[in-house]
Structure 1
Amino acid sequence: MDEEAVVKFVETYLKKKGFKQAELAFHEEIQQQNNSNNAVNIHSDPDLSTLLHSLSQPEDSPARYQDEYSKLRTWAYSSLDLYKHELLRVLYPVFVHCYMDIVAKGHIQDARNFFNSFHEDHDTMHSRDLQKLEGVLSPYHLEEMEFAHTLRQSKVNIKICQYSEELMMQYLRKSKSTIILGIVNEHINFQVSPGQPISISDDPDAVTLIGSSQDAANQINKKEIHWGLLEDSLEERFEKTGVFLSDSEKTEGETKEGDMDENKKRSMDGGKQASIKKSKKDKAASATAKAVRLEANTVPAAPRVKPELPLPVMQAEVEQSILEDLRNRVQLSSATLPSVSFYTFINTHNSLNCSSISHDGSLVAGGFSDSSLKVWDMAKLGQQAGNSILQDENDAAPSEHVSGPNSGKRSYTLFQGHSGPVHSASFSPLGDFVLSSSADTTVRLWSTELNANLVCYKGHNYPVWDVQFSPMGHYFASASHDRTARIWSVDRIQPLRIMAGHLSDVDCVQWHANCNYIATGSSDKTVRLWDVQSGECVRIFIGHRSMILSLAMSPDGRYMASGDEDGTIMMWDLSSGRCISPLMGHHSCVWSLAFSRESSLLASGSADCTVKLWDVTTSTKPAKKEENKSGNTHRMRLLKTLPTKSTPVSTLRFSRRNLLFAAGALSKSQ
């Protein structure tokens, strides 16, 4: 019996019957071969002697885990640079499962020694997961801790080229790493691509947790969804009237020309030159605006769909207000970036948990750890404090302590009713209502006109992390620690739908533009899209390496953006469920995302005290053939980074006129 036959025999039994049975069967086979004429002298073959010595060690020996992982690590780091980055991807899931296997066998001190010896290799990419893993200190934790249980029940998807996989398996066979082979077979799924490695290491979905059934996720993503915009909407009616921004631009241009004529009459010499320069500048601006409109017109129009939920009737004066905003909307593009109005909270003493801005920027809300919700009216605040509200940063600063002629009066409206920290707030489209969610498991509806609590919604069993009004109002969605999202209407105290399926907390929720779908981001590192009418999951988006903290839907209904705890943003195509482009640039948690009104730009706000503007139009164009061949799918273009002095950005919102509002609490520790 040759060496290769022995190794294949061991591998087969490890896969099918487990270590104990494989060991017994192996010794029976050796005994039979020794009794035959073709028996091989085991002790004369050093490789077979090593294999037998390894198999003779106790199955639950922590030393075998330490030895096999250490050898795999040394081999991977000494590999050729061309393949090293792919081979190193295998180390993290192997490290995790080796540690948990040692804990499961009850060798707690040996598990701690193993963790301390090798965890530094993975701190850069997986620091938060390692902090959770370090808390797994007994077999009981493996069953009861959500994080550990998810890892044990799920597989890890690893992208690797065919040659790298062959190198890996060849090494494991030759080194007799039976424990590592078992972990690879049970917990790792290789996505093998033909040929050589494609890129170095910036692919965010190179290593992903895929859950217990990747086939089920693939089947879900084949479901048909109607991602288009609502038919007979105000935007559609506005477009059919043929009234565009160019009309207002023309009016402004005529006013400017009139002013220029007046200046010419007042000044004969210098005035002529200034007017000529101004005229050239106006013509250049007009040409840029035309180019922007042509670029927007090249994008095919979104299909129109019917609403699946009965929508509220909009009042006539509200329609007029929205139409007025549409007429005065500024067309944004990579050449025309938005103006930004930043509201800074000061004197919050680190108690601000969330913030929200109304659609027109006139109201700013903050949720606090003392269970209170506070709403600032920016118009009244400006009248009371004059210019003194511009205290820190270069932007308006809603504050609990405003100096001015009326500083003795409270500068905000205080809403009290929750019995736990307020984690989220959301204004209705008209700003007449605001929702708040709390650790007390409830959602409350407040009237900004009556300054009173109207309804308390009870249904979740654990803290509610997020709540969001639908684009049309009346309906809202909530996300909770109980792993569910729920759909509500303001006139009913019980939820209309319950969306269950995430493996961990649902941390954020966002409505689709047509109100027929909601998206949920979870600590299980996935985003799901749900049909509001049926309550079914119609898409699962896999690719993030940490918990999802923010979501945004493009106003044209085509795309979704998601931001995670590590600072990564991913752009998704809703129709196919595929990631279009990962956005790399932030160095900390991405707390807020917002699309411009024509879906040409994406704004992201982060704990790294920056707002970044991304070019969506360029990123979503089909890649050229040459780029596809080279494997270059990173087409996302960062247009501009707007740093604050020392304020993490917690909230972003584009108004209907495309003015970007942002808010955050001043952090003196920065």
Structure 2
Amino acid sequence: MEEEEIEKAVIAYLKRKGFRQTELALQEEQSKNLSTTKTDPDIAKQILSFSEVESVPARYREGYSTLRSWTYNSLDLYKHELLRVLYPVFIHCYMDLVAKGYSQEARNFFNSFREDHELMHLRDLQKLEGVLSPSHLEENEFARSLRHNKVNIRICQYSYDLLLQYLQKSESMIMLGIINERINFRVSPGQPGSFTDDADVVSLMGSSNDIAKQVNQKEVHWGLLEDSIEEQLEKAGLATDVEKTEGESKEGDLEDNKKRSAEGGKSGTLAKKVKKDKIVGATGKSIRSEASTVSVAPRVKSELALPVRSTEVEQALLEDLRNRAALGSSALPSVSFYTFINTHNSLNCSTISSDGSLVAGGFSDSSLKVWDISKQGQQVKSYNAEGDVESAHIEASAGLEGKRPYTLFQGHAGPIYSAAFSPLGDFILTASADSTVRLWSTKLKANLVCYKGHNYPVWDVQFSPVGQYFASSSHDRTARIWSMDRIQPLRIMAGHLSDVDCVQWHANCNYIATGSSDKTVRLWDVQSGECVRMFIGHRSMVLSMAMSPDGRYMASGDEDGMIMMWDLSTGRCVTPLMGHSSCVWTLAFSCEGSLLASGSADCTVKLWDVTASTKIPKAEEKGNSASRLRSLKTLPTKATPVYALRFSRRNLLFAAGVLSK
């Protein structure tokens, strides 16, 4: 219906211009389609064909300038909604001028009005400014997507009516043609949306929101693996508590039952309830505490053949879990921060082993350096900040007399962009600009395998939570799943429209998540290679991700400093976490899932209350947006952007970064 109303505005304009024959043709076309809700696409073509009568560069500038002035002079209540229309009109005016061969005029038009849109769409403008000829419109992926898809804009009914009134009075056929063919309005009743909604109301990829809705209908099993270490500990702890409590409270229960029967008695179910309460509260600890979401997560079967753990490894893991510190809003973690110095601006990435004993750095000279912190007598400077912070300096250059405080690994033919330790720290993976992934042994201090498959630089690589399998992401717009014992990838995940910048495994190993420069995050089924979730909401490229220990939530951080918390079961954003002023390079959940740590290029580590953040939808229903941000603490460094974060199995937070002068 919206398109029909815009066409009425076109007809009114054509009447004033004397296009009587065109008016009759359009009316006849409309009468044929009265019984349907869709409009014949030929009408849009007719409108554009007549708009070409006026399609000289000066007309584009004049039409856009008039629309821009009218929008900025609109009522404040509706202005922010009407401003959404300017950006798609601006970019299509520019691309139309390029398509018609007016390269210089297009460049002048672009430079004249780009400042209006740089705050919200800087990266998109950077992609478009290199489009200077008709052939570039097809070669440039972003421009081609814009030309072949409509832009969806959400707007309230009154704002839409104001726009229609303007179009009916407007003398610019070009603006009418662009708005009719390039924009799809989704008109909603009621008052205009808030300013904070602007990230979701303009979809520049045309049908991506519709695709996301369709994809997000698929079922996702987000629980933990059956017979996981956490489940074993839970069973063992429950059995121990039951035996201990039964022995201690046997006589007390007998006396309580005698008193009840003497008093006329209560039902037997009350006695059972009291006994159950004593089991839970006997030691002062509950196996299913409110702070831990892991114990209540559903159990699922693995779709991958999992490696067998030795008894010694299982015992070590269980010991770590028994000694895990309970964290929450009132109990923040201790933080150990490793600072790289003398890197000469060549450190690209860093990673930390699960117990914090090994720290690795990937460098632009294609080298990997690994420091064994447990064997180095480094001076550690500590200072208390309620989440005790300890800092250690790591010398990245060779020491005196050529002695190295680190192990040097060489083999790549290009800069190393990502590194990841295996869960036990015995292996490390590296991703490089030479399009390969290499597997190294930290015990043998040697390269074991070189994995080739990507066609362009590999940006990220991550081990699965159980080891054996790993995932990589690349400039070739794909993510791939590998097994350590095979040189070819097991699965290739293709679908992103730009670089896949980061990759993250789900807690149950049945899914991987990918973050891309196309501003979307996708969740993929490992077994089928199918995309089962698409998350839309980021305004810039996605640089980091983390999965909650129970597998239900995922956090993603972008180039603008925004962190989005997603619910995997519904595919919706639970809450945005705003506070960083620069790129969010790393994210990590605490082991029980109550806290999220984020590290940024703004030289801070922030701790967020996940328990509070995941309750936000109820608050939003009541109109309470103030509780959307729940930052517990900000831990600043002097001048060290944060490259890596890692919670140990005992809930100590490790962090690493490079000193920037």
What TM-score do you get using the length of structure 1 for normalisation?
0.82
1:165-564 matches, cutoff 5 A: 165-201=160-196, 203-212=198-207, 214-242=209-237, 294-296=289-291, 301-382=296-377, 385-386=378-379, 395-401=391-397, 408-564=402-558
Distance 1:584 1:153, change over 3 A: farther
Distance in 2, matches of 1:32 and 1:116, equals 39
Residue deviations 1:402-426, cap 9 Å, x none?
A: 76xx774101111111001111101
* Contact 1:510–1:551 (8 Å) recurs in 2: yes
- Greater mean alpha carbon deviation, residues 433-442 or residues 185-194: 185-194
Match in the other structure for 2:70:
75
Match in the other structure for 2:102:
107
Distance in 2, matches of 1:114 and 1:371, equals 44
How many residue pairs get aligned? The number is: 593
AA partner of residue 533 (structure 1): Q
3-state SS of 2:195 partner? coil
Distance 1:160 1:315, change over 3 A: same
Match in the other structure for 1:577:
571
Residue deviations 1:575-631, cap 9 Å, x none?
A: 110111111111111111111111111111111111111111111115447x41537
Match in the other structure for 1:252:
none
Distance 1:634 1:173, change over 3 A: farther
Distance in 2, matches of 1:412 and 1:318, equals 26
Distance in 2, matches of 1:210 and 1:26, equals 35
AA partner of residue 613 (structure 2): S
1:619-630 matches, cutoff 5 A: 619-621=613-615, 623-624=617-618, 627-630=620-623
Does 2:117 correspond to 1:122? yes
- Greater mean alpha carbon deviation, residues 86-95 or residues 633-642: 633-642
Distance 1:7 1:365, change over 3 A: closer
Distance 1:292 1:126, change over 3 A: farther
Distance in 1, matches of 2:644 and 2:627, equals 26
Distance 1:462 1:89, change over 3 A: same
* Contact 1:208–1:544 (8 Å) recurs in 2: no
Residue deviations 1:415-438, cap 9 Å, x none?
A: 111001111101000000000011
* Contact 1:354–1:650 (8 Å) recurs in 2: yes
Residue deviations 1:246-305, cap 9 Å, x none?
A: 99xxxxxxxxxxxxxxxxxxxxxxxxxxxxxxxxxxxxxx9xx97997533689811100
Match in the other structure for 1:588:
582
Query: Which structure 2 segments of 5+ residues have no match?
Result: 27-46, 243-280, 384-388
* Contact 2:360–2:419 (8 Å) recurs in 1: yes
What TM-score do you get using the length of structure 2 for normalisation?
0.83
3-state SS of 1:296 partner? coil
AA partner of residue 427 (structure 1): F
Superposition deviation, residue 179 in structure 1: 2.5
Match in the other structure for 1:640:
633
Superposition deviation, residue 131 in structure 1: 2.3
Match in the other structure for 2:603:
609
Distance in 2, matches of 1:244 and 1:407, equals 58
Match in the other structure for 1:149:
144
Distance in 2, matches of 1:115 and 1:245, equals 71
* Contact 1:244–1:327 (8 Å) recurs in 2: no
* Contact 2:481–2:489 (8 Å) recurs in 1: yes
Distance 1:632 1:176, change over 3 A: farther
Distance 1:95 1:633, change over 3 A: farther
Distance in 2, matches of 1:297 and 1:552, equals 17
Distance in 2, matches of 1:307 and 1:434, equals 24
AA partner of residue 94 (structure 1): V
Distance in 1, matches of 2:289 and 2:7, equals 64
Distance in 2, matches of 1:31 and 1:498, equals 54
Match in the other structure for 2:10:
11
Distance in 2, matches of 1:381 and 1:581, equals 42
Distance 1:464 1:558, change over 3 A: same
Distance 1:79 1:510, change over 3 A: same
Distance in 1, matches of 2:382 and 2:630, equals 35
* Contact 1:245–1:330 (8 Å) recurs in 2: no
Residue deviations 1:56-85, cap 9 Å, x none?
A: 874431112111111111111111111111
AA partner of residue 327 (structure 1): R
Distance in 1, matches of 2:16 and 2:475, equals 45
Superposition deviation, residue 157 in structure 1: 3.4
Superposition deviation, residue 126 in structure 1: 2.1
AA partner of residue 470 (structure 1): S
Query: Which structure 1 segments of 5+ residues have no match?
Result: 34-51, 248-285
Distance in 1, matches of 2:503 and 2:25, equals 64
Please point out which of 19, 22, 32 is paired with 1:26: 19
Superposition deviation, residue 321 in structure 1: 1.1
Moved over 6 A (4+): 22-25, 30-33, 54-57, 243-247, 289-293, 297-300
Distance 1:151 1:454, change over 3 A: same
AA partner of residue 189 (structure 1): N
Distance in 2, matches of 1:13 and 1:374, equals 71
Match in the other structure for 1:269:
none
* Contact 2:463–2:470 (8 Å) recurs in 1: yes
Please point out which of 649, 652, 656 is paired with 2:649: 656
Distance 1:120 1:297, change over 3 A: closer
3-state SS of 1:418 partner? coil
Structural RMSD (CA) = 3.3
Match in the other structure for 1:256:
none
Distance in 1, matches of 2:16 and 2:469, equals 61
- Greater mean alpha carbon deviation, residues 507-516 or residues 165-174: 165-174
Distance in 2, matches of 1:303 and 1:31, equals 64
